[in-house]
Amino acid sequence: MRGPAIIRDAAIAIGVLILLIVIWPFYSVPTGSRGVITQFGKIVGIEPEGLAVLPPWQKLTLFSIRSEQADIENAAGATSDTQPVTVSLTVRYSISPNKVSEVFEKYSHNGDLSSYVQTATHEIFKAVLPPSTLRLI
């Protein structure tokens, strides 16, 4: 009689372990980050640094609020006198902790802003450049 009881207990323990792995409710929000909590696509909260306990129907997306750097290579444009200009830029940016939900809604649902920053920088560079003219010194 001990054999079937041990097998039954082992099967129950394995089942509980698998269930915990599938619905693991513990998440960590690292220092210098905020976690956006969504439920079926809707933002339901912003989690500060530390341990977060979430039910399985909610999702946590991490956003860094530290200063980040984007290197833009070969940004091209033209001056008002149609002279081509190509430059390389470095842009430093950070997300204000109270604007994380707005950034999530408008610009990125996965926490990666690099493509948005690159595109926005190229567009701003093109917009700022035309009024200027090149002068040789």
- What's the confidence (pLDDT) of residue 31? 94
Can you tell me the distance from the alpha carbon of 57 to that of 40, in angstroms, rounded to the nearest whole number?
7
Of the candidates 35, 64, 62, the one whose C-alpha atom is nearest the C-alpha of residue 47 is: 35
- What's the confidence (pLDDT) of residue 45? 92
pLDDT tens string 67-115: 988 888 887 777 777 778 788 888 898 889 999 999 888 888 887 888 8
Can you tell me the distance from the alpha carbon of 98 to that of 94, in angstroms, rounded to the nearest whole number?
12
With a threshold of 0.75, does the pTM exceed it? no
Of the candidates 72, 73, 81, 49, the one whose C-alpha atom is nearest the C-alpha of residue 62 is: 49
Can you tell me the distance from the alpha carbon of 14 to that of 72, in angstroms, rounded to the nearest whole number?
51
Every domain of the chain and the residues it spans: 25-128
- What's the confidence (pLDDT) of residue 26? 86
Of the candidates 77, 44, 66, 45, the one whose C-alpha atom is nearest the C-alpha of residue 113 is: 66
